[in-house]
Amino acid sequence: MKIISKAKKTAVSIAVAMLLASGAQAANLKPITMCALMMMGEGGPEHQMLLDYQAAALNWGVKVELKPYNNEKIVTEELKAGVCDLANVTGMQARSFNKFTGTLDSPGSIPTYDHLRIVLETLAQPRAAKYMKEGEYEIIGIQPAGAVFLFTNDRKIESVGDLAGKKIGVLESMPEMRQMVADMGMTPVSSTLTNVFQKFNNGVIDITGGPAIVYDMMELYKGMEPDGGVLEAPLVQANVQFIGRAERLPEGFAQKSREYFVSNFDASLNFIKAGEKSIPAKWWIPVPESKEDELHETTRKVRLAFRDMGVYDPKMLTLLRKIRCKQDPSRSECTDKNAE
């Protein structure tokens, strides 16, 4: 109820802002339609964030009309068909619009939230704007969605090597995900966003991945009971990307939008960390220090393979590697001849 009330309060604030604007100003607002993905439904935290964004856009001379959706595939199709001018989708889906930013969720490429902050601040700089455009589309904002952890029904798993033979749900719309888990020794099981967590809870699969927020939302403790847990090392950094049809965006809007999301990084991070803290301590499975190098090397091999297959953008992989090595020059990859 508290979230819904906050959303209503923001909606009222937007209406007041419109009323306070002069008639001329209101008439000059550029109308833009957004296919708004709200997997948690209207009134949820996604909706609140979008209302805040809608309010901010008024200051940029834009009136954003939100059209709510709960199916990411439909949102993607609507954007491509020109039904909407903007859309928000997960990083994996965004790859079909921009391979550069679509490489952000490559496994192991962004180890911590400190790394993530540097990456997003770098991408929001005006000099990076040329990489945000690909064809008729432009990335106008990247919002962190949280580190993706592996939820498992077997607490004995402590490293990548222990995953061999385990069944894991992979999204049908992402064939490269199937290849990635196969390369890591797991058995991929075709799934969708709507049934992958149900399969885990019912024991159809042994492992599922997701940010901490899905623990309560999808009741993943059911799938982990009695002997499971959450592998403490994050596999990827999930993100939501805001994509616009470049020709329909007023001048300067995209850059202001990108800077807006960076300025709200801490607010997003607080929400993410609250979700991680909500998982009881008993479920977390620490990764022994002796196993960390194995994890780094395995995910690196996946990144290199996907780079060579044309799935991941080499420029982005290089940028992410440089940031990792600046933060920790002792990493073995920093002196490797086959560096990303």
Which of 223, 193, 222, 221 shows the shortest CA–CA distance to 205?
223
Q: Cα(165)–Cα(249) distance, rounded to whole angstroms?
A: 48
For residues 144 and 270, is the Cβ–Cβ distance under 8 A?
no
Residues 6+ apart with CB under 8 A from 201: 218, 219, 220, 222, 223
Helix/strand/coil for 159: coil
Residues 6+ apart with CB under 8 A from 295: 108, 159, 160, 233, 287
The confidence score (pLDDT) of residue 26 equals 59
pLDDT in tens, the chain (340 residues): 334 445 555 544 544 444 444 444 556 899 999 999 997 777 778 899 999 999 999 999 999 999 999 888 899 999 999 999 999 999 989 999 999 999 999 999 999 999 999 999 999 999 999 999 999 999 999 999 999 999 999 999 887 788 889 999 988 766 667 877 887 788 999 988 779 999 999 999 999 999 999 999 899 999 999 999 999 988 899 999 999 999 999 999 999 999 999 999 999 999 999 999 999 999 999 988 888 888 888 889 889 989 999 999 999 999 999 999 999 999 989 998 888 9
The confidence score (pLDDT) of residue 245 equals 97
Q: How many residues in the chain?
A: 340
Q: Cα(257)–Cα(34) distance, rounded to whole angstroms?
A: 14
The confidence score (pLDDT) of residue 25 equals 56
Residue type, 285: I
Which of 91, 11, 97, 2 shows the shortest CA–CA distance to 44?
2
- Could you tell me the two tokens for 335? 């002196």
Q: Cα(61)–Cα(74) distance, rounded to whole angstroms?
A: 28
Task: Indicate the Cα dihedral angle 201, 205, 211, 213, nearest 10°.
Answer: -10
The confidence score (pLDDT) of residue 158 equals 80
The confidence score (pLDDT) of residue 279 equals 97
- Could you tell me the two tokens for 116? 């993530």
Residues 6+ apart with CB under 8 A from 293: 332
Domain regions of the chain by residue span: 2-144+238-277
CATH number of 2-144+238-277: 3.40.190.170
Distance of CA 61 to the CA centre of its chain: 28
The confidence score (pLDDT) of residue 27 equals 61
The confidence score (pLDDT) of residue 95 equals 94
For residues 278 and 212, is the Cβ–Cβ distance under 8 A?
yes
Strands 187-191 and 133-134: unpaired
